[in-house]
Homo-oligomer: A and B are copies of this chain.
Amino acid sequence: MSEKKYVTYGDSCSCGCGAPEGAKQITGCRFSLSEMSDRYIEYILGAIEKTDTSKVWSSTGKLSTIYRGKQIHVEDAVKACFINAFHEGVHMTMECTFSKGCPGDIEGDSYLAADDVLMNEPAIKDVHFPVACKIALYPMGIPDYMKYIAEVVNHAIDLGIYAGSAHYCTVLECDVQDLFAYINYVNDYCGKNLSHYIFEVTMSVNSPTK
C-alpha cells in the first residue's frame, strides 16, 4: 500500500515567512461564472476567450478559472471577463475569491514582471450596467480582524454603494464601474495593511428577484 501524501500547511506561520518572497507579491483571483441560460457554455467560454490575459497567469478548470499576477492586471482581467459575460436580460453571477499573502503560496504560476499598462480597460471603461453584490472580507491570522472589515464596509457607505448588512456578508448595489473601483480600493487597502487576506465577492446581474 502506498503511503498517503498529507498536506503540511501547519508548518507555515501566519506572518507569511513560510512563503517565498516573490509569492507575497502575487494577487490571485479564482472565479466561477454562472449563466442562467441554455446557452451558458458559449457565453462563459466566449467571455473567457474575449478577455486579454496576456499579463496574468491563468488556468481554467472544471470548477473555476484563476488569474494570478500583479494586482492591477488581475483586477483588469476579472473586470473584463465579467463585463464580457454580460448579456442583456440574462441572469448571470460571478463568484470571485481575491487573495494575497497565503503562507502556503508559491512563487510560480504568476507573471509579475509586466508593466502597468492595462490590457482590457480601454475596451470596457465605458460599459455601464447595475450590479447587485455580496462581499465578505477575511483578514487572516490576527485577533483584531473585525476592525479591518468595518473599515472596508464603512468605505462602501461613504461611496454610497452600500445596500445593507446581512448575516455573513455585506450587500452592495451600484454600477459595474463603481464596483470594480471599490474592489481595487479593497485590494489596495488589504495589501497594505494585512499579511494574508481573502476577499469574497459574488456579483449578480439581471436577477428576476426585485
Residue of B nearest to A99 (CB): B168
Identical chains bound together, number: 2
Q: Answer yes or no: A141 CB below 8 A from chain B CBs.
A: yes
Are the C-beta atoms of A198 and B168 separated by less than 8 Å? yes
| From B14, B105, B133, B158, contact of A143 by CB (8 A) | B14
- Chain A, interface SS category: mixed
B-binding segment of A80-88, A112-120, A181-189, A199-207: A199-207
Interchain residue pairs with CB less than 8 A apart (8): A7-B157, A8-B150, A14-B144, A30-B134, A36-B38, A66-B166, A66-B168, A141-B145
A binding-site residues for B, Cβ under 8 Å: 4-14, 28, 30, 32, 34-38, 40-41, 61-64, 66, 68, 91, 93, 95, 97, 99, 102-105, 109, 132-134, 136, 138, 140-147, 149-151, 153-154, 157-158, 165-169, 171, 198, 200, 202, 204, 207-210
